[in-house]
Amino acid sequence: MDPFALDRSSPVPLYFQIAEQYEQAIVDGRLRPGDRLETEVALARQLGLSRPTVRQAIQLLVDKGLLVRKRGVGTQVVHAQVRRALELTSLFDDLSRAGQAPRTQILGLRRVSAEPAQAQPLQVAPGEPIWLLERLRLVGDEPLAVLRNCLRTGLVDLEAFDLERQGLYGSLRRAGISMSVARQRVGARRASPAEAALLSEDPGAPLLTMERTAYDNAGRVVEFGQHVYRPDLYSFETTLVQR
């Protein structure tokens, strides 16, 4: 490993700068699966930092599934091909980063009265107005997913944003709304006739489903989504870490 370049005047925390450089080294192949890192104490001495700061950096990468630690032994790069972990982002971000040129087609955006099935996850009273957004996601010319989202009104005026270009999460970020936590459930079912038509699939074809409820950093529900994906074009990848 090359020496680190730390910028103490940067607003980026030191532990994050360290973690970024290690992550890059792993992705680049400068650190290979099974390689041992230097000990936390040695690293702290070399970098002129305290051990807790170095430890915080390593912990970040352990949580991402890139490193494994063993007491009395040391810290090693995990023996796995590194792929991007599932993060709290939208499908739009996922595909943009994969360079696949996603497009979005708005099928409908309107204010409706919340039905009980929508009101409950959004934690509003039934009959209250909510945003209902339906979109078709395409990658190239292939339809990929049908996205259906419910949002509380009052948070943001969705019609003011270019949802086709920025995606929903990008628009929310621009409005100053940042997601903090999300719960999601992934399942499967047959395509309805309408979904099959939109996705160029046979009726009854298997679809991957995802339901997600997202919360801001005040713990309030921001968004509830029910999405269906073509399983030949999309799947969900997660890294699980024992804590």
Taking CB under 7 A as the binding criterion, the range among 49-57, 109-117, 152-160, 207-215 that sits at the site for DNA is 49-57
Task: Tell me if 79 contacts DNA by CB under 7 A.
Answer: no
The residues facing 7 across adjacent strands are none
Q: Which does 182 bind (CB under 5 to 8 A by kind): a copy of itself, DNA, none?
A: a copy of itself
What is the number of residues in the chain? 243
Task: Tell me if 125 contacts a copy of itself by CB under 8 A.
Answer: no
Measured from the CB atom, the residue of 37 and 228 that comes closer to DNA is: 37
CA dist 17 → 14, 49, 86, 98 (Å): 5, 12, 21, 24
Instruction: Give the residue ranges of DSSP H helices in 67-182.
Output: 91-97, 116-122, 163-174
Torsion of CA 28, 30, 32, 34, to 10 degrees: -140
Measured from the CB atom, the residue of 16 and 236 that comes closer to DNA is: 16
Q: Which does 13 bind (CB under 5 to 8 A by kind): DNA, a copy of itself, none?
A: DNA
User: Which of residues 44, 128, 226, 231 is near a copy of itself by CB under 8 A?
Assistant: 231
The residues facing 68 across adjacent strands are 76
Q: For residue 204, give every residue at least 6 positions away whose Cβ sits within 8 Å of its Cβ, in sequence order, or none.
A: 190, 191, 196
Q: For the chain, how far is it from start to end, CA to CA, in angstroms? A: 28
CA 84, 136, 121, 128 torsion-angle sign: positive
Find where tokens 């160029």 sit.
Answer: 200
Q: How far is the CB of 180 from DNA (least distance, A)?
A: 10
The residues facing 76 across adjacent strands are 36, 68
Q: How far is the CB of 207 from DNA (least distance, A)?
A: 38
Instruction: Give the residue ranges of DSSP H helices in 34-162.
Output: 40-47, 51-63, 91-97, 116-122
Taking CB under 7 A as the binding criterion, the range among 48-56, 102-110, 140-148, 164-172 that sits at the site for DNA is 48-56
In the region spanning residues 167 to 206, those forming contacts with a copy of itself, defined by CB under 8 A, are 178-190, 204-206
Task: Tell me if 138 contacts a copy of itself by CB under 8 A.
Answer: no
Q: How far is the CB of 159 from a copy of itself (least distance, A)?
A: 26
Q: How far is the CB of 108 from a copy of itself (least distance, A)?
A: 25
Task: Tell me if 71 contacts DNA by CB under 7 A.
Answer: yes
Q: Quick one: which of 199, 226, 31 has its CA closest to 121?
A: 226
Site of interaction with a copy of itself (CB under 8 A):
33-34, 52, 60, 63, 65, 68-70, 73, 76-80, 83, 86-88, 123, 178-190, 204-208, 213, 215-221, 231, 234-243
Site of interaction with DNA (CB under 7 A):
13-16, 37, 39-42, 48-53, 55-56, 69-75
